[in-house]
Chain A
């Protein structure tokens, strides 16, 4: 994935060499597959806007303690259940007088942590097992297939519930629960990609050059599967955030008082008729995050989709 930074943009080919016109024409536009994908991605304004919004929200989540006006469990007993616009509490407060804006900012932090953490963990496991299953077959494939069968017997969500019951409700446990519930599909995707790519001549060429199996899998197969995997991740992160919200609604999300979007929604539901703002802010925030991820994912998919047409 460091392909992009290995190429200096200034190193673009010079004036066309008359004997080899095709070479320079292709080179002038693009370098690595990531650069080409990025060029296409940039033209998709919706996806680009989503990326900007998500990046901004991620920054907000990362620097939460610096910008949140209050701590997430800092009560203001003078102003409980305050409406939006109350002095000192832009979005209002909850039952205990905790500042909703601050809690929302910290919620983002938890939700992103769960989303990225669970997806990253799932991705790592999925890549290793998927590659082994696709490339070698054998034990890894049997394991993957057996686990897949078990997972299909359970609804993914129910599985996450069970995992939380076993592992507890710390942020780490919730991440682990969601990762365990979601790595299988990603591993199957990796395996399918591996099987397809192994039919390609360059894999055979690498074998003909004497490449060891691991080298072929990691250097020749995996980089060519990055596009689809990246798309899967961009849809997997919001799925993990949603999963956490779903767990929270059942009272199985991240342990309070640590706020998460799901947890805040759950708190808000009880007061929806009298104090709807407790529900509206986290719900809107969740919707924005999910929508942005969806558009981002679409953009990534389109950006990598046309790679094949250049061949």
Chain B
């Protein structure tokens, strides 16, 4: 752990109350984010990547709760933090970028209010100054004529502009940590690139970033660290470059194999057989064994713990050494 570690998540557990009993949506999530570091949390839908990040800010639905672990942010544990203290962190110290900006902005509020209100209620600056800052932030994310556009409603902007406006909304206050929950999923590819560049610029300013995505192509663009989740568990974690080079966990390999590479049209896209495991009905041992080509009836029915495969790299598979 270096001194500039911003967030250290250890063994985070989140459970949902459902008709079928308690379901572990996140089961032992650990990672850390330093200043200026971008961590990509990758996985399929339902792998717990989004729930894991939202639980940090206490933004879970009423049926869910954190049942274990800790998340030390700047010396304080976010888990179990009182609402008042949490509110001072939300939006101020930790910003959040949502998947769909259209949905994440109230249709009855102008961009100006959308972008300045939190500056004011966090007591960062006066109303007039907040307006200046909001206009500057809009300009920085490449929105032309920000003075005019700030008076518009979200539905009057194009999808790409809205998404950029939302990044401006989260970054105008200069948070220490930015959680980006699938920020490029709802926009088309030409905009995707712009969004990623903006997030990269934030990172270069020293903001820590947690990037939640299912797209490794997006994740590798500027993220330093990869955290691969499957069925609420971390199956592999390590530096992005090494991970892309040779993923250690069979699931991570499958994920990488099914990523589209436009430059190489000869490469065959692989598919991970089956569908994501039902977390309410988890198999014993390795959760991936039901879909894994390498599954071994003896070894895989035992729980797999995260083992070091190379310096700074861990994977939860007894065969992970075979591939590194």
The residues of A with any CB-CB pair to B shorter than 8 Å are: 3, 6-7, 11, 13, 17, 19-23, 26-27, 30-33, 200-202, 204-212, 215, 219-220, 223-224, 226, 307, 310-311
Contacts and interface: CB of A to CB of B under 8 A. Distances in A.
B92 A200 contact: no
Nearest to A215: B121
Given A3-B108, A205-B105, A20 B96 contact: no
Contact of B103 (A26, A201, A207): A201
A209 B118 contact: yes
Nearest to A13: B148
B253 to A, nearest CB: 33
Nearest to B88: A210
A210 B104 contact: no
B243 interface: no
Most buried by B among A21, A23, A32, A208: A208
A211 B59 contact: no
A9 to B, nearest CB: 12
Contacts of B160: 20
A17 B88 CA distance: 39
A27 B156 contact: yes
A283 to B, nearest CB: 41
B269 interface: no
A219 B109 contact: yes
A195 to B, nearest CB: 11
Given A208-B59, A211-B118, A223-B106, A21 B155 contact: no
A209 B169 contact: yes
Rank and list the top 4 A-B pairs by shortest CB-CB distance, nearest first. A209-B91, A210-B91, A22-B158, A210-B90
A211 B161 contact: no
A212 B169 CA distance: 17
Contacts of B104: 201-202, 204-205
Contact of B107 (A33, A204, A215): A33
Given A17-B144, A200-B103, A210 B152 contact: no
Contact of A212 (B89, B103, B121, B148): B121
A200 B107 CA distance: 11
Contact of B57 (A23, A32, A201, A208): A208
B102 interface: yes
Nearest to B118: A209
Interface string B147-177: 0110111011111110000000110000000
A226 to B, nearest CB: 8
Interface in B117-146: 117-118, 121-122, 144-145
A31 B153 contact: yes
A212 B103 CA distance: 20
B308 interface: no
A206 to B, nearest CB: 7
A205 B170 CA distance: 10
Contacts of B170: 209
Nearest to B159: A22
B67 interface: no
B260 to A, nearest CB: 26
Contacts of B59: 204, 207-208
